[in-house]
Structure 1
Amino acid sequence: MSASIGNHARAAAVALATPAWAVAVALTAAGLVGALAPLGIVGLPDPGAATRVGLPLVQTLRDVAALTTVGALVLATTCVPAAREAELNKLSGAQRRLVALAQFAASAWALTSGLLIVLVYSDVSGTALHAPGFTEQAVFFFVRFELGRYALWGAGFAALVALGCAMSSRMGGVGVTTVIAVVGLWPIALTGHAAGILNHDEAVNLQMFHLLGIAVWMGGLVSLVVVRRQLGGGLGPTVRRYSTLAGWCVVLVTMSGLFAAWLRLPSIASVASPYGLLLGMKLTAVSALAGAGWWQRRRTMARLEAGDSGAFWWLVSVELAVLSGTAGLGVALSRTAPPAPDGGARPLTASESLLGRSLPEPLDAAGWFTSWDLDTLFLPLGVAGIAWYLWSVRRLRRRGAAWAWWRTTSWVVGCLLFLWATNGAPGAYGRVLFSMHMVQHMTIATSVPVFLVLGTPVTLALRTLRRRDDGSQGPREWLLGVVHALPVQLLGHPIVAAVMFVVSMVVFYSSSSLFEASLESHTAHVLMTLHFLLAGYLFAESVVGSDPGLRRPPYPLRVLLVMVTFGFHALFAVSLMATSTVLARQWFEALSRPWGRSLADDQYLGASLGWALGEYPLAVMAAALLVSWVRADGRERRRFDRREARGQDRELTAYNNYLGALARAEETRGATPPTMGRRSEDIHQEQGDRP
C-alpha cells in the first residue's frame, strides 16, 4: 500500500514539476537576455510588466500542454497493448487513461492559446491589458492580422483535439484525433522562433520537425509516468517500443536543430550573441541527452523488465528535466531577436519581403537542371521515401522473396521527380513564373503519382512490416486500417477520384484567391502540394494500381475513365491558353521581375506546358493499363486451365454437350414439312383455287 502511494506521489511530482521547471527556465533565460525588461526606446510604447512576464509564462505552458497532448496520443496509438485479444478495436485501461490525459492537456492547450492571443496583441501593439478599448482592438487583431489568425487557429485545433478525445472510444477515433493534434503543432511552428527571419518558410518547416520530435519524446515520457500503473506487465514492452520511437525523435530533433542553427546564425561570430548562446545551450542539452540516454537505456531496460521501479524513475526524471528545460529555452529564443547579417540589417526589397529570399536569376535552359532551392519539408520526405523503399526491398530479398526491379525503378523515379518539382527549378521559380508553377503543379499532380502507384508501396509495406501480436497498433496495423477506411474507399472510387482530380484543378485556377493564396502563404502552398499529390495518387491507384484496398472497375471502363479525365485536363489547358485574364496579377506585378516574358506570355507558356506535361503520364498510364490487362487475361486463362485439369475438362465437356443438344434440337425443329418439297407456283396455284 505504501509503495503504491509512493508511486502515485512520485508520478504527481514529476507531472507537476515538468511545466514548472520549463517556466522557470524560460523566465530565467528571457531575463538574462533582457527580454523581460522594457525596451527603453523613446517613442515606442511599453505593454507593461504583466505582458512582458505573462507572455513567456503562458507560452511555455501552452507549449508543454501541446507537447504532452501529442505525446500521450502517439503513445496510446502506437506503443500501448490492448486489453484483450477479442477487443482489438476498443481502448484498454491504459489507453483510456492516456486519452484522458490528452484531453486534459488539450484543454489547457486551448485555454493558454486563447490567453496568448491577448498577450501577443498587447506585446506587438505596445498596449497595456487595461487600456481603454483593448478588447475590441484585440478581436480585430486576431481576425484581420496573420499573427493573430495563427494563434486563433492554434486554439481551434486544441479545442478540436479535446473534443475528439472526449468522443473517442475506439482506436480509429483516437488515430484521427492524433493526426489533428500533430497538425495543431503547425501554428506553433509558424509563430515560434522560426518566424521573422528572411528564410522564413525553411525555418518553419524545420521548426515543425523539431516540435514533432520533442512532442513525441517529452510528451511520451510524461505519459509513461501517468500510465505506468495501468500498464502493469506491459510496461517493459511499452517502454521498449517508446525507446525505439524516442531514438528516431533524437535524430529528428538534432538534425532539425542543427540545420535551423545554420539558417539563423549568419556567421561564426554570431554564435556569441544572446540568440546564439541560447541556441547553443539548447543543442548541447539535446545532444548530451541523446548520448546519455542511449547509454542509460541499454543498462536500464534489463533492470526495468526485471521489475526494478527505481530504474524507471531514474530514466524518466533525468530526461524530463532536460527536455522541459529545452522547451523553456525555445520560448526564450522566441523572445530574442536573431543576430543581423554581417554589415548590419538592411531594408528588404519587395521581392525579398514577399518571397522570403532574393529574386532568382533569369532562368535559362541549363537552369532547369542546375537551379535548386532546397525545401526543408519535402526534401526530407522525398529522401525518406527512397530510403524506406530500398531498405524494404533489401529486407524482402534477404528473406529469399523476389521483388520486380521495375517496381523499384518506378518508385525511385517518382520520388526523384517529386524532389525535382519541390526543390529544383520548379520549386525555385514556381512563385516567380506562372510557367514554372504549372510545371511544378503538373509534375506533382500527374507524373509523380503514376510512378509512385506503379511501385506498389502498400504491398511492399505489408510484406515487410512486422505484425503486432499483443493488440497494439503498429505501422502495419495502421496501414491496413487506413487503406480499408470508409473515407479512403469513397475518395478512391474511380469516378470520385477522377472528378476530384479534374474539378479541384479547375476550381483552384478559376478562383484567383486560392491560387494567389498558394503563392503568398507557405501554409497554403503546402496544402496545395499535398492535395494535388493525394488526388493524383488516388486517381492513378484506382486505374492502374494493384495495391490492396480499393475496388477497381473492369478494364474497358478504366480505359474510358483515363481518356475522359485527360480529355478534360487538355480542355482546361486549352481554355487557360485562350483566356486574356492574368491570374494572380497583383502578386506577380509586386515582385517587379526585371527579366523574362510578360505576364500574359508567361501564362500562355505555362498553359501550353500544362497541356504537354499531361501527355507522357497518359502514355505511361496507357502502357501500364495495357500490360495489366494482358496479364489479367493471362492469369484468368491459366486459372481456367488449372480448374479444367483438376475437373477433367468438366466445363469443356458440359459445353460440348450443350452444343450437341442445340444441334439435336435444331434437327428436330428443322425437319422438312410436306409442303416445303413442292414448287412455290404449285402452292400458289392451289391457294388460288380455294374459295
Structure 2
Amino acid sequence: MEAVPRSLRILAPAALLAATLISLVIGLAIGGAAAERTLADPGTVVRYGLPAARTLVNVSMAVLIGALVTAVWALAPERKEWRTALDLAAGAAAVLTVASAATIIFTYVDVSAQPFSGDAAFGAGLAQFVTQLELGQLWLIELLLAAATTVLCFAVRDRRWALVALVAALATTLPLAQQGHAAGASGHAQAVNSLLVHLIGASVWLGGLVALVVVSRGMDRGRLATVTARYSTLALLAFIGVAASGVVSAWQRIGSFDALFGSGYGALVLLKVAALLGLGIAGVVWRRAAIPRLGGPRGARIFTWLVLAELAVMGAASGFAGALGRTATPLALESARDTGSPTVSPAEWLTGDPLPPELTAGSYVTVWKFDLAWILVCVFGAIFYLGGVIRLHRRGDRWPIGRTVAWLAGLAMLFYTTNGALNAYEQYLFSVHMLGHMMLTMLIPLVLVLGAPVTLALRAAEKRSDGSWGPREWILWLVQTPYSKVITHPAVAAVVFAGSLWVFYFTPIARWAASEHLGHQWMIIHFLISGYLFSLSMIGIDPVPYRFPYPLRIVILFATMAAHAFFGVTIMTGQGLLLADWYGAMGRTWGATPLEDQRTGGGIAWGIGELPTLALALIVAIQWSRSDDREQKRKDRAADRSGDAELRAYNEMLAKQAERDQRQVRR
C-alpha cells in the first residue's frame, strides 16, 4: 500500500506553479516592473514574459539539482525510486533548456528595443548579442550547459555517472550567479558568491521536496520516513545557506532600513523574508513532529498537508524572487568602470572596488573583506567535524584532542585568509597575494591533514544497508578510485605541489585568476587541494593507497624545498613585473613600488614559504622515530611471547657455525 495518495503528485506541482505565478504577478506590480516604460518600452509581452521565463529557469534548475541530489544522497539504484528521480531530472533539464532559450530572446528584445520578428536582421542582432555582449554570452553558456545536462540525465543510470550529471547541473548556477544586480558593481566577488550560495541552497531545498513527492509513489511508510529524514538534513543545511546569503544579498542592494521599508524592492524583500520564516517553521515541524509520525496511520495525511503548504510557500518565494530580479534597487549598483566618471581610479577600473587604505601592521587585524561562501565552508567544516567527534564520544570511542585542535586551527586560518586583510589586499599587492598563496598551499593544508577528517568520517558515519550511498560509502568509493590513486601518489602530489608555482605564475593563468572571479576561486581551491594532497602523502593519518618510505619522504621534502627556494629567488631577482598590466597599473600612492613589492613577494615564497616545509620534515622525522619505536616494541612483545626463541635460535646458529669453522681449522 502506498504511503501517500496519488492525487498528491498532481496537487503538489499545481500548488507550486500557482503560487509562483500569482506571487510573480503581485511582485511585478509592487516593485513597479510591470509598469509601462516612458522610453523604449518592450511591450506587455516582454514585461511579463521575461520575468516569467527567468522564474521558470530558476524553478526548473531547482528541480533538476534537487532531483539529482536526492538520487545521489538518499536513493538506491536497485529501486524504482532511482529511475523516477533521474527521469524527473531529465525532464527538468529539458524545461531549463527551453526556458533559457526563451529568456535569451526576451532579454535581447528588452535590451535592444527591437520588436520580435523572424527576419534576418533580428537574427543577426540576436547572434551578435549572444556572442559579443557579456549578458548574452552568459545566457548562451546557460543554454549550452542545460542542453548538455539534459543529455546526461537521459543517458546515465549508473550511480557514478549520476554524480557527473549533478556536477553539470550545479554548473548551470554559475552563469546565473554572475547576472545578479550586484554582480558587476563594487563587491563583485562577494555578490557572486552570495548569489551562488543562494541559488544552490534554494535548488536543493525546493527541488529536493519536489523530488521527494515524485519518488514517493510506491513507497511504504517506513521507506518514506527514511528518505524524508535524509532530505530533511539537506533542507536544514540549505536553509542556513539561503538565509545567510539572502541577508547579505539584500543588504548589498538596499543599504539602509529606510530603503527597506520605503521602496518597492524593500517590500518584496520583506515578503521573501516572511516566506523564509514560514519555511523555517515548516522545517522545525518536519524534524520535530512530522518525520517521527510518518510511519503511523496518519502519516500519509501529515505528509500530504505539509508538502502542499511548504510547496505553496516555496512557490511564493520563487515568484517574489523573479520579481526582484526585474525591480530597480534602492542603491545604484553600477560598476565604477561603467560610470564613465573621470575620477575613477585605476584600481577601481581594474578590480571594480576602491583602493583600500595604506597597508600597515594594524591593517592585518582591522581590515576585513568577508566572503559568505568561504565563511560557510569553514562553519560547516567545523560543525561536521565536531558532530563526528561527539558521535564517537557518545558511542564510547576516543578521538585524540590534538586532531580536533589541528582541524579547527586549520579552518580558522582558512577563514582569515579568505575573509581578512589577505583577501582585502591581495588584488593590489603582490606580496600580500604571495603570503595568502603560501598560507593556502603550505600552512593550512598541513594543519588540516593532521586533523584526519577522512578517518573521523569513516568511523562516525553510519553504514547504510538499503543500497543507497551516504557519506561513508561515497568516501570509501572516492579514496579507492583509480583517479584518487593517481593524485594521492607521493610522486604525483609532489610534482603538482611544486610545479603549480611555475605553471601558475609564468602562464596567463595568473592574469585570469587576478582579473576574473571564477579564476580567483579556482586558484584558492587548486592550491588548497594540491597542498592538502602533498601533506597527506607525507604525514597524513588518513588512509591512502601508497606512501613512500620515510627516507624517501625526506628526500622529496628537500627537493620541493629547493624548488620553492629557486622559485622565490627567481621572483626576487627578476627585472620585470609578472603582471605589469595589473599590479603595475593600480595607481597606488602608498607602499613600495610594484617591482619592490614583487621582490618582497619572492622573499616570502623563499623564506616564509619554507617554514611549513621544514615543519613537514620535522613531523616526518618524528613519525619515522615513532615508527621505529613501534617496530621495536612489536619485536619485544613477540620475543616475550616466544621466550626469546628467535634470539636463542640465532645464537645456536652462530655457535654451530663457529664450531664448524674450528673443525675446519683443526683439519
TM-score (norm. length: structure 2): 0.91
Q: State the alpha-carbon separation in 2 of the partners of residues 33 and 280 from structure 1.
A: 12
Q: State the alpha-carbon separation in 1 of the partners of residues 623 and 199 from structure 2.
A: 44
> Of 226, 242, 251, which residue of structure 2 is paired with 1:253?
242
Q: Does 1:596 align with 2:582?
A: no
**Which residues in structure 2 correspond to 1:666-681 (within 5 Å)?**
666-667=661-662, 671=665
Which shows bigger deviation, 345-354 or 649-658? 345-354
Aligned to 1:118: 105
> Could you tell me whether the CA contact under 8 Å between 1:60 and 1:331 is conserved in 2?
yes
Aligned to 1:87: none
SS in 2 for 1:377: helix
Q: State the alpha-carbon separation in 2 of the partners of residues 196 and 332 from structure 1.
A: 20
CA-to-aligned-CA distance 1:42-87 (integer Å, 9 cap, x gap): xxx444444333321221111111100111111122223x3xxxxx
Aligned to 2:257: 268
> Could you tell me whether the CA contact under 8 Å between 1:201 and 1:356 is conserved in 2?
no
> Could you tell me whether the CA contact under 8 Å between 2:537 and 2:544 is conserved in 1?
no
Q: Does 1:105 align with 2:92?
A: yes
Aligned to 2:273: 283
Q: State the alpha-carbon separation in 2 of the partners of residues 500 and 562 from structure 1.
A: 13
> Of 182, 186, 193, which residue of structure 2 is paired with 1:198?
186
Q: State the alpha-carbon separation in 1 of the partners of residues 383 and 110 from structure 2.
A: 45
**Structure 1 pair 18/292, CA: closer, same or farther in 2 (3 Å)?**
closer
> Of 632, 640, 659, which residue of structure 1 is paired with 2:635?
640
Q: Does 1:162 align with 2:153?
A: no
Which amino acid is 2:622 matched to?
V
Residue 395 of structure 1 and its aligned partner are, at CA, apart by 4.1
**Structure 1 pair 129/502, CA: closer, same or farther in 2 (3 Å)?**
farther
**Structure 1 pair 384/245, CA: closer, same or farther in 2 (3 Å)?**
closer
Residue 28 of structure 1 and its aligned partner are, at CA, apart by 3.7
Which amino acid is 1:477 matched to?
E
Aligned to 2:28: 30
**Structure 1 pair 267/499, CA: closer, same or farther in 2 (3 Å)?**
same
Q: State the alpha-carbon separation in 2 of the partners of residues 402 and 250 from structure 1.
A: 32
Q: State the alpha-carbon separation in 2 of the partners of residues 653 and 142 from structure 1.
A: 85
**Structure 1 pair 405/664, CA: closer, same or farther in 2 (3 Å)?**
same
Q: State the alpha-carbon separation in 1 of the partners of residues 349 and 7 from structure 2.
A: 53
CA-to-aligned-CA distance 1:337-382 (integer Å, 9 cap, x gap): 210279xx98583434543432100001222232211122212212
Q: Does 1:301 align with 2:291?
A: yes
Aligned to 1:418: 414
Q: State the alpha-carbon separation in 2 of the partners of residues 194 and 152 from structure 1.
A: 21
Q: State the alpha-carbon separation in 2 of the partners of residues 293 and 416 from structure 1.
A: 30
Which amino acid is 1:192 matched to?
G
Aligned to 1:682: none
Q: State the alpha-carbon separation in 1 of the partners of residues 274 and 112 from structure 2.
A: 35
Which amino acid is 1:491 matched to?
I
SS in 2 for 1:294: helix
Q: Does 1:212 align with 2:168?
A: no
Structure 2: gaps spanning 5 or more residues:
none
**Which residues in structure 2 correspond to 1:246-395 (within 5 Å)?**
246-271=235-260, 272-295=262-285, 298-308=288-298, 309-340=300-331, 349-350=344-345, 351-395=347-391
Q: State the alpha-carbon separation in 2 of the partners of residues 285 and 60 from structure 1.
A: 17
Q: State the alpha-carbon separation in 2 of the partners of residues 498 and 140 from structure 1.
A: 46
SS in 1 for 2:438: helix
Q: State the alpha-carbon separation in 2 of the partners of residues 635 and 189 from structure 1.
A: 53
> Of 154, 163, 168, which residue of structure 2 is paired with 1:175?
163
> Of 213, 225, 228, which residue of structure 2 is paired with 1:239?
228
Which shows bigger deviation, 647-656 or 488-497? 647-656
**Structure 1 pair 97/625, CA: closer, same or farther in 2 (3 Å)?**
same
Q: State the alpha-carbon separation in 2 of the partners of residues 301 and 401 from structure 1.
A: 29
Residue 436 of structure 1 and its aligned partner are, at CA, apart by 0.7
Q: State the alpha-carbon separation in 1 of the partners of residues 352 and 504 from structure 2.
A: 24
Aligned to 1:439: 435
> Of 79, 91, 114, which residue of structure 2 is paired with 1:127?
114
Q: State the alpha-carbon separation in 2 of the partners of residues 577 and 273 from structure 1.
A: 54
Which shows bigger deviation, 596-605 or 650-659? 650-659
Q: State the alpha-carbon separation in 2 of the partners of residues 648 and 151 from structure 1.
A: 78
Residue 654 of structure 1 and its aligned partner are, at CA, apart by 4.2
Structure 1: gaps spanning 5 or more residues:
83-89, 674-691
Which amino acid is 1:66 matched to?
M
SS in 1 for 2:582: helix
> Could you tell me whether the CA contact under 8 Å between 1:201 and 1:522 is conserved in 2?
yes
> Could you tell me whether the CA contact under 8 Å between 2:67 and 2:88 is conserved in 1?
yes
The structure showing larger relative contact order (alpha-carbon pairs under 8 Å, at least 6 residues apart) is 2
Which shows bigger deviation, 291-300 or 495-504? 291-300
Residue 427 of structure 1 and its aligned partner are, at CA, apart by 0.5
> Could you tell me whether the CA contact under 8 Å between 2:181 and 2:253 is conserved in 1?
no
Q: State the alpha-carbon separation in 1 of the partners of residues 643 and 624 from structure 2.
A: 28
**Structure 1 pair 94/121, CA: closer, same or farther in 2 (3 Å)?**
same
RMSD over equivalenced CA pairs, Å: 2.7
Q: State the alpha-carbon separation in 2 of the partners of residues 489 and 110 from structure 1.
A: 37
Aligned to 2:37: 39
- Bigger Cα Rg: 1
State percent identity of aligned pairs.
37
Aligned to 1:558: 553
**Structure 1 pair 519/19, CA: closer, same or farther in 2 (3 Å)?**
farther
SS in 1 for 2:524: helix
CA-to-aligned-CA distance 1:487-540 (integer Å, 9 cap, x gap): 2221111111111122222111111x3212212211111111001100110111
Residue 467 of structure 1 and its aligned partner are, at CA, apart by 2.7
**Structure 1 pair 502/145, CA: closer, same or farther in 2 (3 Å)?**
farther
**Structure 1 pair 494/138, CA: closer, same or farther in 2 (3 Å)?**
farther
> Could you tell me whether the CA contact under 8 Å between 2:571 and 2:602 is conserved in 1?
yes
> Could you tell me whether the CA contact under 8 Å between 1:371 and 1:425 is conserved in 2?
yes
> Of 61, 74, 78, which residue of structure 2 is paired with 1:66?
61
SS in 1 for 2:219: helix
Residue 437 of structure 1 and its aligned partner are, at CA, apart by 0.8
Q: State the alpha-carbon separation in 2 of the partners of residues 173 and 665 from structure 1.
A: 70
Which amino acid is 2:278 matched to?
A
Q: Does 1:498 align with 2:494?
A: yes
Aligned to 1:451: 447
Which amino acid is 1:300 matched to?
A
Q: State the alpha-carbon separation in 1 of the partners of residues 390 and 295 from structure 2.
A: 32
**Which residues in structure 2 correspond to 1:436-585 (within 5 Å)?**
436-511=432-507, 513-585=508-580
**Structure 1 pair 383/589, CA: closer, same or farther in 2 (3 Å)?**
same
> Could you tell me whether the CA contact under 8 Å between 1:154 and 1:187 is conserved in 2?
yes
Q: Which runs of 4+ in 1 moved over 6 A?
A: none
Q: State the alpha-carbon separation in 1 of the partners of residues 373 and 270 from structure 2.
A: 23
Q: State the alpha-carbon separation in 2 of the partners of residues 647 and 143 from structure 1.
A: 80
Residue 129 of structure 1 and its aligned partner are, at CA, apart by 3.3
> Could you tell me whether the CA contact under 8 Å between 2:278 and 2:313 is conserved in 1?
no
CA-to-aligned-CA distance 1:118-151 (integer Å, 9 cap, x gap): 3333333333332753333333433343333332
Residue 541 of structure 1 and its aligned partner are, at CA, apart by 0.3
**Structure 1 pair 125/572, CA: closer, same or farther in 2 (3 Å)?**
farther
Residue 159 of structure 1 and its aligned partner are, at CA, apart by 3.1
Which amino acid is 1:439 matched to?
L
Aligned to 1:76: 71
Q: State the alpha-carbon separation in 2 of the partners of residues 375 and 608 from structure 1.
A: 28
SS in 1 for 2:178: helix
Q: State the alpha-carbon separation in 2 of the partners of residues 377 and 607 from structure 1.
A: 30
CA-to-aligned-CA distance 1:267-306 (integer Å, 9 cap, x gap): 1110121111111111111112312442366443354311
Q: State the alpha-carbon separation in 1 of the partners of residues 63 and 652 from structure 2.
A: 74
